[in-house]
Amino acid sequence: MNNPLECILHKVDPQFAASQGFRYRLSVLLDADGFSFLVTHANTQKILSISVYKLGLVSGQSVEAVGWPTKNDGYFDLLKNIDVVNQHFQRIDIAISSHKITVAPFVFLKHGHETDLMNAAHQKNEEEEILTEAVSMDGSAVASLIPEYIKRNCETIFPGANLHCEAAVLAKGLLQKHQTSNLRQVFINLHHRYFDLVVVQGPNLIYLNAFKYIEPSDVLYFVVFVLEQLGMTPTEETVTLMGGFSESTPILAHLKLYCASLVYIEKPTELEYGEVLAGITFHKYFTLLNLPICEL
């Protein structure tokens, strides 16, 4: 593996003390193009550190590649060298991203039908396994496909950690943030070469899916198609954005053509933010920030 590892964000609060890990929670977000870490105080919910790392392309990998490599290419060897990984914490939560997701009533997944449900959306191969997680109290759940080596490495490096579907954490964070609103609200979480599209109304998850894209116009196409299928009028909708994208991406220009307005997601209010975090564009890390506060 010859891809460089770049630290694009590293902030540590003066109150952070590595020896006090028994008082802290570690939240980890694993994406195919990098990983992120968030340390919070278990009682006060204060953010004590946040770090984000991005990977370059693997030799021979196409810039249009989407998702995880079929086999472990050294990703976890790089992760193990990060200082925070080798510290001890009261609790560890790990969210694993995947563009291969489906949503279904949790009772279907609980009764062993997850493979049939997943195969209807994404064909599962022998090197993949299904990760499931409840999203809301009404019984909806997310199932995602991840390579088997991811779970195996997580269990080795972070024994006893809780594994989560990244899309489920995203949905729970949005439902929690907007549970008192009766309006249908549209959210886009942008990843490298795919995006999550979420529609919520109060405490109800109306829609959740992930779409691959090549051209910026592909994002607009899927958004307009889905909203029209839901009986919504895209030109009347405010779309809330989050994810690791550049404000100069052409995707935003395309969305502005057909959507009433674009806004960025606000940071979760349940966390405490110290002065050291001033200036961070928190909409880039919405899912990571929701890991320590979204529990059913």
Query: What's 98's domain CATH number?
Result: 3.30.420.250
pLDDT for res 61: 47
Domain C-terminal end among 125, 157, 172: 172
**Order of strands across the sheet that contains 194-201:** 204-212, 194-201, 184-190, 238-243, 261-264
pLDDT for res 139: 81
Number of structural domains in the chain: 2
Same domain, 25 and 138: yes
Q: Are 272 and 44 in contact (CB under 8 A)?
A: yes
The pair of three-digit structure tokens given for residue 110, joined into one six-digit string: 């609980």
Same domain, 190 and 72: no
Which spans in 50-165 are helix H? 75-79, 106-110, 114-121, 148-157
pLDDT for res 237: 95
pLDDT for res 27: 98
pLDDT for res 115: 87
The pair of three-digit structure tokens given for residue 142, joined into one six-digit string: 């997310």
Same domain, 159 and 34: yes
Q: Which helix (H) or strand (E) holds 206?
A: strand 204-212
Query: What's 259's domain CATH number?
Result: 3.30.420.260
Answer yes or no: is 288 within a domain: no
With tokens 């795919």, the residue in question is 194
The one-digit pLDDT tens for each residue of the chain (296 residues) are: 456 899 999 999 999 998 999 999 999 999 999 999 999 999 999 999 999 999 975 444 455 567 898 888 789 999 999 999 999 999 999 999 999 999 988 887 777 788 888 888 899 999 999 999 999 766 889 999 999 999 999 999 999 999 999 999 999 999 999 888 889 999 999 998 999 999 999 889 999 999 999 999 999 999 999 999 999 999 999 999 999 888 878 999 999 999 999 999 999 999 999 999 999 999 999 999 999 998 64
pLDDT for res 106: 82
Q: Are 134 and 109 in contact (CB under 8 A)?
A: no
Buried b (16+ CB within 10 A) or exposed e, 2-32: ebebeeeeebebeebeeeebeebbbbbbbbb
The pair of three-digit structure tokens given for residue 169, joined into one six-digit string: 């954490």
pLDDT for res 248: 79
pLDDT for res 296: 47
The pair of three-digit structure tokens given for residue 107, joined into one six-digit string: 């009772």
Domain range for residue 243?
Answer: 175-264
pLDDT for res 85: 97
Residue 185, number of CB atoms within 10 A of its CB:
18
pLDDT for res 244: 85
pLDDT for res 57: 59
Strand pairing partners for 186?
199, 239
132 Cα distance to chain centroid? 14
Domain C-terminal end among 172, 202, 220: 172
pLDDT for res 105: 87
